A = this chain, B = another copy of it.
Amino acid sequence: MTVITGKRIFAVITGASRGIGRQIAISLASDVAGDSAFLLLARNVELLESVKKQIQDVNPNVHVAVAKADFAEQESIKGLEELVNSVTNGLTIETRLIFHNAGTIGAVDKPCIEISDPTDWHNYLQSNVVAAVTLNNALYKLFVATSSAPIFVINITSIASVKAIPSFTQYAVGKAAREAYFRNFALEVGSAVRVLSYSPGPVQTDMVEEIGRNSYDAEMRQHFSSPQTVNTPTHRRRLTPEETVSKLIGVIDKNDFENGGRIDFFDA
């Protein structure tokens, strides 16, 4: 039995204005039943409004709310219940999903021995780890209190959480920390929730362009600024957002992944 295709879902997606997050919203919309609901979060609300429009072009019967929110700030959490209710009110939701997709690449412009400012680390960890934890805990509690519909928590992770890559130090630290959180979350909440860390592979997004421009490492700049055509275990071909999100939705729909585990695009 599928959990997404043809179902009335409620999906919360962070970093939904661009790249993989935007693609998750649009791909989900084309798979789900009408009277599904989406809550799209990102810093740029204008871009979110355009994603909302694209969703409703694909599936006119879905309900979409967009909001700018920083969940490293406790104040944002207070408005969360209202936001969720505003978009799900009156709907009979069959599957609830949280996509923790928001993330920044970190200080790729300098080697790790030059990333020593505690304030810089604080800011990076707040927006890439603590914000996800805070939002996740608040939504989980809200979901558990609202209905017994299944809950899926999807953490968008990276190969960087398990493998060193030059100039990806902050990214690696953030992703490894987040993955550890969700692994423990899966264990502690048990069967009440299905948790997956999904590593999307090297997807052609703005982040890739940023690395191509700004990495301190000349080889990384070259690698990420040129199109990739090779496809070997060490040099993966660049993926489209559609490709990786399609595989992710397939993995969730099949729903036989190890709870709290990690799955990479190239292994799924």
Contacts and interface: CB of A to CB of B under 8 A. Distances in A.
Interface of A: 72-74, 77, 111-118, 121-122, 125-126, 129-130, 133-134, 137-138, 140-141, 160-161, 163-169, 172-181, 183-189, 260
30 contacts: A77-B116, A111-B189, A112-B137, A112-B185, A113-B140, A113-B141, A115-B133, A115-B137, A116-B137, A116-B138, A118-B130, A121-B125, A121-B129, A125-B130, A129-B173, A161-B180, A164-B187, A164-B260, A165-B187, A166-B184, A166-B187, A166-B188, A169-B181, A169-B184, A169-B188, A172-B183, A173-B178, A175-B180, A176-B176, A177-B180
A184 B260 contact: no
A172 B72 CA distance: 20
Which interface residue of A111, A117, A125 has the most chain B CB atoms within 10 A? A125
B172 A180 contact: yes
Q: Quick one: copies of this chain in the complex?
A: 2
A221 to B, nearest CB: 15
Contacts of A113: 137, 140-141, 185, 188-189
Contacts of A164: 183-184, 186-188, 260
A134 B112 contact: no
A237 to B, nearest CB: 23
A179 B175 CA distance: 12
Contacts of A122: 122, 125-126, 130
Nearest to A168: B184
A175 B112 CA distance: 18
Contact of A118 (B72, B165, B186): B72
Contacts of A179: 176
Contact of A173 (B115, B126, B140, B181): B181
The 6 lowest CB-CB distance pairs between A and B, nearest first, are A176-B180, A164-B187, A177-B177, A169-B184, A172-B180, A176-B176
Contacts of A137: 112-116
Given A122-B130, A129-B177, 20 more contacts: A72-B118, A73-B118, A111-B188, A112-B184, A112-B185, A112-B188, A121-B125, A121-B133, A122-B125, A122-B126, A125-B129, A164-B183, A164-B187, A166-B188, A169-B181, A172-B181, A173-B180, A176-B179, A176-B180, A177-B180
Nearest to A172: B180
Given A112-B184, A176-B180, A180-B176, A74 B118 contact: yes
Contact of A184 (B126, B165, B177, B185): B165
Nearest to A71: B118
B165 A112 contact: no
